Structure 1
Amino acid sequence: MSEFDVLIVPGWKNSGPAHWQTLWQNTHPEYRRVEQKNWNHPVRSHWIEQLELHVQAARKPVILVAHSLGCITVAHWARPTETRVAGALLVAPADVERRKVASELRNFAPVPRKSLPFPSIVVGSTTDLTCSAERAQEFSRSWGSEFVNLGDVGHINVDSGHGLFPQGEALLHSLTRLGLLLRGSAGAPLEGTGDFRNLTELDAYSMPHR
């Protein structure tokens, strides 16, 4: 994975200490988390801005690992001309258009229906209360993503019993191999600062429970 900068993109209320995103980051301290200024009351434009700042800070091609609202943030952020991202793993996207969505998330609607300019995998579930498998597959089609339905696995978080989430790690490695094949090398140099510090006023390790 040394050929890429991996950015962890959590969803609403951040990913807590037992969440697979945090466990991956603990195992791979070189992974960086996209820190938001306000996890509990997300503002779409602010979340997009923070993602952009973290991508700008990368020295290598970026792999995005997003969960829930983080997936929708990636879809809003991605521009047709984006070349810095080598791939995205989009796990359990939140359907912010659903009738009973939390009021805090409504400003992320509508969900973008444009093709992403990089390879991506959407991971869905038949028992995710935030997004049906049918809706997740619909998003994946509009984004030009591969779709993986893991079945009865809930929202793929701590509440659904997921720890390290090895299926996700396998998909991530598949995505990075594809990224290398498409780039034909370890990746071209990128314009960026390489400095992930001070992107927000939050401590990178002060993570509330999901």
Structure 2
Amino acid sequence: MSNKDFIDIDIAKVDIQRSERNGYPEVIYGEGKTADQIIEISKVLLSKDKTVLATRVSEEKISEIYKAFPDAVYDKEARCMSLNKKDTKKPDSYIAIVTAGTSDIPVAKEAAFCADVFGNNVECIYDVGVAGIHRLFACLDTIRNAKVIIVIAGMEGALASVVCGLVDKPVIAVPTSVGYGTSLNGITALLSMLNSCASGLSVVNIDNGFGAAYNASMINHL
């Protein structure tokens, strides 16, 4: 890459042409970065009039970031921050985000925040897991009318297979680290989703609401 493709600020080589290659600007992963590092990377992206999206930003860090960017938009449940969000025309279609339990909502919030920044309409449906499957059936119309569906579940991760067997749309499964001992911090749900017999199911990493939103956004914009 030439220096026209990235800007080297010592702590990071900020990719300023990612949106031209991939459709979306570089996203800042906030976990493991200091508030000052997030601020410096954001300044570079803003200097090129890019939308800034940072994930896994703690409340402690955002309090420092607000000092540099008072207009930052932050969702503490999603742990996401955005700046300079573009008012792009959204597709008429929408992404449905479905959680098995209330404990999965933080991951759903991350997915919804990111999907919104990427220019999508989103419908969120919470707490419709297999322990009370009738709750899911009451929401099936909204789920089936989506262009793409994100299903978020911990424990044994069964909801993704169930939903995928009821719809004719692509389903993206997100295992979460929710559950008791042998859930193994999400590994049990991950393996269950990877071994699903339901066709049309793809799986992202544990707690990766961002990754699911990115994938769903690309599908929704096709």
TM-score normalised by the chain length of structure 1: 0.43
Mark the structure with the bigger radius of gyration.
Answer: 2
TM-score normalised by the chain length of structure 2: 0.41
Structure number with higher relative contact order (C-alpha < 8 Å, ≥ 6 residues apart): 1
Normalized per residue, which structure has more helix? 2
